[in-house]
Amino acid sequence: MIGIVIIGIVTGIALVWITSYNSLVKHRNWAEESWAQIDVQLKRRYDLIPNLVETVKGYAKHEQETLTKVIEARNVIAEPNATRNERVEQDAELSGLLRQLFALSESYPDLKANQNFLQLQEELAGTENKISYARQAYNSMVMRYNTKIESFPSNIVANMHSFLRNDMLDIPDEEKEPVQVRF
């Protein structure tokens, strides 16, 4: 009789252990996949910027300084050993610079009428929005993962198998506004 009870308890614990472990892995992968989404969009923006700079160059020769800054900021984002939060911060800086660049175009009617420029502007604005959506998805996945790590009984399993807390991405308030594009 006692044997059966012990077997029951052990099986119960084992089951809880396995489900907790699997669910931790699942949540961690969700968070990782959400980060990959941000990365895809960062890469997309990285690829679009040279085209934009080329297009603007032809019309706004005097804005060399802004253009150089944009290119520099772009190159920093590609830095391979930056942490996630660093990359997102640099990305926010780039957003600010791009906003300046689009504001500049107001004084160049030819540029503003350029079909290629308009399309790039739309693409970049779209990508920027996607980055912020992806960031939001990442944060909510990280929140769920962290909650899982801290709540009973999965916290015991998380401790034993060293599942570590992920950091959420934080952005200064003034960077939260997406690039405003008006037609």
Partner 1 sequence: MFYTQISRNKRNTVFLVLAFVIIVLLIGAAITYIRTGDYLSGALFAAVIATFYTIFMISTSTNVVMRMNHAREITSSKDQAFLWHTVEGLSIAARIPMPRIFIIEDESPNAFATGISPKSGAVAVTTGLMKRLSREEIEGVLAHEIAHVRNYDIRLSTIAVALVSAIAILSDIGMRFFIFSGGRNNNNKHPLILVLALVLVLLAPLVAIIMQLAISRNREYLADASAVELTRNPEALASALENITGNSSPVEEASSSTASLYFADPLKKKAATLFSTHPRPEERVRRLRAM
**Interacting residues toward partner 1 by CB under 8 A:** 30, 34, 37, 41, 119, 122-123, 125-127, 129-130, 132-134, 136-137, 141, 181
Q: Are 31 and 141 in contact (CB under 8 A)?
A: yes
CB of 138 vs partner 1, minimal distance in Å: 10
Nearer to partner 1, 51 or 69 (CB): 51
Q: Are 56 and 105 in contact (CB under 8 A)?
A: yes
Q: Are 77 and 42 in contact (CB under 8 A)?
A: yes
Rounded to 5 degrees, φ, ψ at 126 are: -60, -45
CB of 133 vs partner 1, minimal distance in Å: 4
CB of 30 vs partner 1, minimal distance in Å: 8
Nearer to partner 1, 59 or 133 (CB): 133
Nearer to partner 1, 93 or 123 (CB): 123
Distance of CA 125 to the CA centre of its chain: 15
Q: Are 87 and 77 in contact (CB under 8 A)?
A: yes
CB of 61 vs partner 1, minimal distance in Å: 28
Rounded to 5 degrees, φ, ψ at 82 are: -80, 145
Nearer to partner 1, 11 or 129 (CB): 129
